Structure 1
Amino acid sequence: MINDKTKVNDNIQLIKFDDALEMVKKESDTVLAKSPLIIRGYTKHLMASRGKYIRAMSVIICAEDKNGLIHPNAVKIAAAIEILHLATLVHDDVIDNADLRRGDVTLQKKYGKRTAVICGDYLLCTALNLAGSISDKQDYLDLDMPDYMGKVCLGELNQHINNSNLNLSVYQYLKIISGKTAALFEASFHAGAIFSDCDKSECRKYKQLGYLVGMIFQLTDDCIDFEDTTESAKKPVQSDYEQGVITLPLIQALKNIKGFSEKAASSGISRAEINEAVSKAGGLNFTHMVVKKYYNKALKIINDIEVSDNKKEKLMTLLNKASRVN
């Protein structure tokens, strides 16, 4: 490993991309595996199903300097963001009463809701502790992790308050997902930009890019609820409305099909009726169109940022992963 690092001074060694990403996975796994004994069984259950590490990967890619090397502090922040994301998933599964996550039984299904909520809270604290363990903290004050965590929580609360709100507007919905999903992507891109030592103007571009990627990621996920199977998505699908979550494809149907909203409010609507209405109203086409708008804005930012061709290619990979472009 030492040969794959470039020495900067007596204390800090910059890291190559592949090594940095592997270190993030090891760091997050180590933190979970070394949890206090009382909670370790639960954190080990979570370790059994790894995600795609797309947020951690965002930090590492954005943290690359002009030589393609990464500061070790970026590894800790990336791991912290990954654990924070895991905490939100644990809480989401409790709220949604979900049985599956990443193809495995959820914590709340296996151990109960109370245990899952407390474990999620523990993970939030762990993420903050890990983020606070980086060296030279004064250099990274612009990255306000608690503020981003607050945005995620407020986004989730805003969604909960609007559960089963059949009059939810497009603007209101985009506001909800800008907190519950896009904020953590923005934090990831922002963190990486700070570690890459770019100027404030460039840093703002990375933040905006992260926000756009997060919006794309959530809107694409909304379409998955209608377009994928449980087996391919590795989580429950055809279930957002049943959990009270009103997403953009359904908003289009409620807004544009005469009498549909009234029927939903008075006697309820079946999944078959939802699918038919969304198809008739072009809800999925509309959502994909909004994704395309965000995609084009993100593409423009990537082309405006002064980075190497290699880093630009990696940023494009993130963008395409979020939008499920092959």
Structure 2
Amino acid sequence: MNYFIRCFVVIISLGLFYLASYWLLVTNNTTSVSNKHETTSKESPPILKNLFDLVVKENSIFFLETSMKDFEHEVVTINRRASCALESAALHHQNRTIYYIYVFPNDTETIYIKEKYLNMVLTYENIQVVYAKIDDLVRNTEIEELFSKHLIETSPFFVEHFSDAFRAIILMKFGGIYMDSDVIVLKSLDDLGGNFIGKEISTILASGIMGFDENGIDLLSAALEDLNKNYNPKSWGGHGPLLFTKWVKKMCNATANFSYHECDYLRILPTNAFYPVSYGIWRHFFNPKYIDEIRNMVKNSYLIHIWNKLTHGFILEADSNAPYLIFAREHCPKTVSKLYKSF
């Protein structure tokens, strides 16, 4: 009897051993396949493309990032408000390609897009995040000589001056619309035609939002020639709004308040088109009690301009009902959905 019991115990033990071995083998194989699938399914982050390697459509919209703060790093970034501007432009212009252009020095290495706001805006099929090298931008333009002297880099306003120069060059090379990154687009600009600029005040044109096609090349060229000859590194606004004001008046024989001008191709828009809330009352964007006033001021506007030089340090809580954030929730909802504590 003891012999049969011992045999039974041996058989049961061998069975349990083989069952355990089989289970471990199956588990290891499954884990291996799973890990392999996980490894191969993780894609590398997208690489920033060179604008000049792409076929750019004539009716595109362009934003510029000229601080060059990311060129030494492998990953580019975008702030929440610029993300909102970019998204709102894409949302209201699904028939156009929207380019966010990082301007980099000429020795730029491979740059990756690995940042939550950039990845979010890239869910819009009509948004392209790209870079452009300085040499590619200025080559064979009216300001190539100025850049060879490296004067702009010495200016305390080099970010603004780079942007002043490159927005004109981009529109000369490609045509389309340029926008500053401190806006929220409220509706399509498609009805404005190919050449337009807006007043900041009755006698000054602003260059924060403007559109030009081949009909405006002479005007852009004249402005760039002036910049090349008369560049002043100490002048904050002299190479943007004042420069365009000067050359529109000169080339179009415009009156002081632009009520009359002779450039049939150019549409000059009133202040409330692009700058309905003046920089003098910028705080109203950030105060909930002014929502009715702001809504009334912008009811016929194409966009709102936030005056970043004045407002960049003014932070809103993510749940604020300030006018700026109310417009953001409506016109850049994906950006707002990514907010953690502030905007």
TM-score by length of 2: 0.26
**Structure (1 or 2) with the greater strand fraction:** 2
**Structure (1 or 2) with the greater helix fraction:** 1
TM-score by length of 1: 0.27
